[in-house]
Amino acid sequence: MIQPQGTRLVAGLFCQCRSAETHAGVDPGGGCGPAPVSPQPPQDSRSGSDIPDQACDVCGGPEQEHRLKVLFEILDVNGDGGICVNDLSIGLKKLGVHRTEHELRRMVTAGDKDLDGQLDFQEFVQYLRDHEKKLRLVFKSLDRKNDGRIDSQEIMQSLRDLGIHLTEEQAEEILRSMDKNGTMTIDWDEWRDYHLLHPADNIPEIILHWKHSTILDVGESIVVPDEFTAEEKKTGMWWRHLVAGGGAGAVSRTCTAPLDRLKVLMQVHASKTNSMRIGSGFLQMIREGGVRSLWRGNGINVIKIGPESAIKFMAYEQIKRLIGSNQETLGMTERFVSGSLAGAIAQSSIYPMEVLKTRLALRKTGQYSGILDCAKHILQREGVAAFYKGYVPNMLGIIPYAGIDLAVYETLKNSWLQRFATDSADPGVFVLLACGTTSSTCGQLASYPLALVRTRMQAQASLPAGPQLSMSALFRLIVRTEGPLGLYRGLAPNFMKVVPSVSISYVVYEHLKRSLGVQSR
């Protein structure tokens, strides 16, 4: 079969080992060592010629360097030493490779480390090497028989494990788009040549996508939701995931409620003159109201999980449609925008419950008989506006939390893929939990000053003779009287509850998933 010029050139760019198995030994730096020694010289699977006894070209052999320079010069249409989107479009068309403008922009953005809008030679080389390694991981993940080839059954099974069901005809259609020799199986060469100059098309993107927020509950209401596949929406599995996540959150929040109440007390009452430490804080709560007082405010904290999750999910799906995304997985920017807006809508809807939670956590023994009594007192004495005290800092806190959570998670994921992934792109439970916990913690740390100001604004009216300050005035007062560290009062108990919260929510989530008949992903 005659290949177009572009395909022939791309096919010669990278590894001449011609074996996905050889690449299992990729080192953390992105290269792979010499091909394994065997009695017979290795054969090129296409030409049958002997491969030179030298280090794999992914490590940067001289022939590969020359091929990359040739390709770079072809794509650098205007010869200015950089490949922009327009250069890439014209150059790839000359090679017989057609990509949409959106795909071209994603390729440039992915490799543009200095953010100048184009790829210089070093950025171009690094992008291709990083992209090839990801493609190799996906190939290994799909090659379940470990025979160096992917067939339709392996594609169907791999995607079925991710909640995406394909018919055999659909799987065969995917194979035909990549199959160059008519065998209806895909070897490493065919897989790489098809995807190398494409920004993680469809299947690779889905395989490399890790979900994380669904199974984690760290007591925060501004986490970005996970998207569900079309199959999960069609079969109704999405609501089972939400129910399992809600149940896990309820158990997790109840188990860590004493730490959460201590955090609220420290945020509102602790100061330079009124030092409140973890041990003395617990003793103070028990002396005032007994052991049961440690769980004050937990009831409303658990109740709000249901409506908030449902509203956030529905808003997230609608916003995805509005921004024109019909992909199974979103890019980080789209996910940040959609998740932040969905979080803002959900928080706006249930925010009065946030105020009630703070007031109930701060109440004295006998002050309120329950949630409804608390709401009635606030409405009668302070009016409807009191239910939205601290609303602005709460909304502003969504931006640093969501942005840093997603950015740190993506960085940790890519670092793991680059350094430790060899046989599969599946990280395993421990890596998922570690990445999710770390990213959520970083997000909390970034948004914590806004969360503290929000809590103080919610509590202002309940404090005797306390001034009713605006957000900016409260920030200035805290910094002036307590210093910058005053914005982090209560951070210790907040972080103390992260690990138990994640551990408990994961165990309960998995148990509820099995009970509800949700397949493991």
Tens of pLDDT, residues 51-66: 344 444 344 455 667 7
* More confident site: 260 or 509: 260
Radius of gyration of the chain (CA): 28
- Residue 97 has a CB neighbour count (10 Å cut-off) of 18
Residue type, 261: R
Residue range 356-382, pLDDT digits in tens: 999 999 999 999 999 999 999 999 999
Which helix or strand (DSSP H or E) is residue 186 part of?
strand 186-187
Which of 514, 453, 433 lies closest to 218, judged by CA? 433
Residue range 202-250, pLDDT digits in tens: 555 555 444 544 445 555 555 555 556 555 666 666 777 778 888 888 9
pLDDT of residue 65: 73
Q: Does the pLDDT at position 177 exceed 60?
A: yes
Residue range 82-96, pLDDT digits in tens: 999 888 888 888 877
Q: To the nearest whole number, what is the mean pLDDT of the chain?
A: 77
DSSP 485: G
Supply the DSSP string of 126-151, one letter for each residue: HHHHHHHHHHHHHHHHH-TT-SSEE-
DSSP 187: E
What are the tokens at 182? Answer: 């008519």
Residue range 95-146, pLDDT digits in tens: 777 777 777 887 888 888 888 889 999 988 888 888 777 778 778 878 888 8
Q: pLDDT class for 256, splitting at 50, 70, 90?
A: very high
Contact 491, 453 (CB under 8 A): no
Which helix or strand (DSSP H or E) is residue 483 part of?
none
pLDDT of residue 394: 92
Q: Does the pLDDT at position 18 exceed 50?
A: no
Out of 388-397, 484-493, 501-510, least confident range: 501-510
Residues 6+ apart with CB under 8 A from 302: 249, 250, 253, 254
Within 463-509, strands assigned E span none
Backbone φ and ψ of 367, nearest 5°: -70, -45
Cα 357 to Cα 374: distance, rounded to the nearest angstrom? 10
Mean pLDDT for the stretch of residues 466-478: 88
Q: Does the pLDDT at position 284 exceed 50?
A: yes
Strand-pairing partners, residue 32, are: 26
Q: Which residues of 423-432 are buried (b: 16+ CB within 10 A; e: fewer)?
A: eebbbeeebb
Residue range 288-305, pLDDT digits in tens: 999 999 999 999 999 998
Which of 132, 156, 136, 103 lies closest to 327, judged by CA? 103
Q: Does the pLDDT at position 41 exceed 70?
A: no
Looking at the domain covering 62-213, what would its CATH class be?
A: mainly alpha
Out of 99-103, 127-131, 197-201, 460-464, least confident range: 197-201
Residue-level length of the chain? 521
Which of 296, 227, 230 lies closest to 263, judged by CA? 296
Q: Which range in 334-348, 384-398, 461-475, 493-507 is most confidently predicted, on average pLDDT?
A: 384-398
Within 325-482, strands assigned E span none
* More confident site: 213 or 154: 154
Which of 270, 268, 295, 272 lies closest to 280, judged by CA? 270
Q: Which range in 147-156, 354-363, 398-407, 454-463 is most confidently predicted, on average pLDDT?
A: 354-363
Mean pLDDT for the stretch of residues 467-496: 91
Out of 15-19, 130-134, 391-395, least confident range: 15-19
Cα 381 to Cα 291: distance, rounded to the nearest angstrom? 30
Out of 167-171, 389-393, 449-453, 492-496, least confident range: 167-171
Backbone φ and ψ of 77, nearest 5°: -60, -45
Contact 242, 491 (CB under 8 A): no
Q: pLDDT class for 49, splitting at 50, 70, 90?
A: very low
pLDDT of residue 43: 42
Q: Does the pLDDT at position 14 exceed 60?
A: no
Cα 173 to Cα 165: distance, rounded to the nearest angstrom? 14
pLDDT of residue 98: 72
Which of 237, 249, 222 lies closest to 507, judged by CA? 249
pLDDT of residue 88: 86
- Residue 302 has a CB neighbour count (10 Å cut-off) of 18
What are the tokens at 336? Answer: 């940040």
Q: pLDDT class for 39, splitting at 50, 70, 90?
A: very low
Work out the angle at residue 75's Cα, subtended by the Cα atoms of residues 72 and 77, and round it to the nearest 5 degrees.
120
What are the tokens at 484? Answer: 């910058």
Residue range 413-446, pLDDT digits in tens: 777 776 776 655 566 677 778 888 888 889 889 9
- Residue 43 has a CB neighbour count (10 Å cut-off) of 12
Strand-pairing partners, residue 150, are: 186
